[in-house]
């Protein structure tokens, strides 16, 4: 057991090999190769339509890739429903529009999947949910409905909801893009704290400050390709590709 554990710790936890994807005739992802080590924090940025959301949505099979290999936690994503279910249990995801379940309270949102997917007893699931709600600093909202919370609070609930499944990997799909500036900070703070616990994270985001402080690697995508991939220091101070330079100059102007 320890042998395999050691072996896998060196092995990347997420592996993409020559991944291609098409929407109809439109080639969205072109030959993507990406290795994510355990506890690595990766920020993916790029202009809209560059395929960055599609890329991370392929990792938990919200989108299907048509060519290449995606291996998550040692399991290859194929059409096998069992594999997909196993991977989805290990991979948490936060969305731009939070996608909380509006008919359930915050606590019920957090407990639903642990109870019905992981078969955790209700009391235990609720205790775990309260633990994570405290982590994201909104235990007092547990019995409210999502519609009664602010955007930032909703996104923090969404993070807590994902964490309740004890995922090994967290995906963030532009988690702050739909938020007011005041709320962006509270969500980013939560994500920074999460990063400090050693969670493997892949974030699609335009928050360059977050990328600079938290990321181990920044990936720049354009036109469905990975243009540049580097550590944040090099990426921001010494971008290699002219497309990256243009992008950075545009978003860092203000």
Q: Which residues bind other proteins (CB under 8 A)?
A: 60-62, 85, 88-89, 91-93, 95, 97, 99-103, 112-113, 116-117, 144-148, 158, 161-162, 165
Give the nearer residue to other proteins in terms of CB position, either 172 or 247. Answer: 172
Give the nearer residue to other proteins in terms of CB position, either 65 or 217. Answer: 65
Tell me how far apart the alpha carbons of residues 158 and 123 are, in angstroms, rounded to a whole number. 20
* Minimum CB–partner distance for residue 52 and other proteins (Å): 16
For residue 35, the tally of other CB atoms under 10 A from its CB is: 15
Residue with tokens 């978003």: 251
Distance of CA 136 to the CA centre of its chain: 16
* Minimum CB–partner distance for residue 56 and other proteins (Å): 11
Tell me how far apart the alpha carbons of residues 108 and 104 are, in angstroms, rounded to a whole number. 6
| CB contact at 8 A, 81 and 88 | no
| CB contact at 8 A, 110 and 157 | yes
Give the nearer residue to other proteins in terms of CB position, either 143 or 242. Answer: 143
Tell me how far apart the alpha carbons of residues 6 and 201 are, in angstroms, rounded to a whole number. 20
Cα-flanking dihedrals φ and ψ of residue 206, to 5°? -105, 5
* Minimum CB–partner distance for residue 94 and other proteins (Å): 9
Give the nearer residue to other proteins in terms of CB position, either 89 or 137. Answer: 89
Give the nearer residue to other proteins in terms of CB position, either 165 or 183. Answer: 165
* Minimum CB–partner distance for residue 103 and other proteins (Å): 5
* Minimum CB–partner distance for residue 109 and other proteins (Å): 9
Burial of 170 (0-12, 13-18, 19+ CB in 10 A): buried
């Amino acid at each position: 057991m320890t042998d395999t554990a050691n072996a896998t710790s060196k092995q990347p936890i997420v592996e993409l090999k020559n991944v291609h994807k098409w929407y109809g005739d439109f080639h969205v992802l072109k030959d993507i190769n990406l290795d994510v080590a355990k506890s690595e924090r990766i920020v993916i940025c790029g202009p809209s339509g560059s395929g960055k959301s599609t890329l991370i949505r392929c990792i938990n099979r919200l989108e299907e890739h048509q060519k290449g290999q995606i291996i998550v936690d040692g399991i290859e994503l194929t059409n096998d429903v069992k594999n997909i279910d196993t991977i989805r249990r290990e991979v948490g995801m936060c969305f731009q529009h939070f996608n909380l379940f509006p008919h359930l309270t915050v606590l019920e949102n957090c407990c639903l999947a642990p109870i019905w997917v992981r078969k955790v007893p209700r009391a235990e699931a609720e205790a775990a949910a309260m633990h994570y709600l405290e982590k994201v600093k909104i235990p007092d909202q547990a019995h409210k409905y999502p519609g009664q919370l602010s955007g930032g609070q909703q996104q923090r609930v969404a993070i807590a909801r994902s964490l309740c499944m004890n995922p090994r990997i967290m995906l963030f799909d532009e988690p702050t893009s739909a938020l007011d500036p005041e709320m962006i900070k509270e969500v980013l703070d939560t994500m920074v704290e999460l990063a400090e616990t050693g969670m493997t994270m892949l974030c699609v985001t335009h928050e360059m400050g977050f990328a600079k402080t938290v990321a181990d690697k920044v990936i720049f995508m354009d036109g469905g390709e990975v243009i540049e991939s580097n550590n944040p220091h090099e990426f921001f101070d010494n971008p290699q590709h002219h497309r990256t330079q243009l992008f950075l100059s545009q978003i860092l102007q203000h």
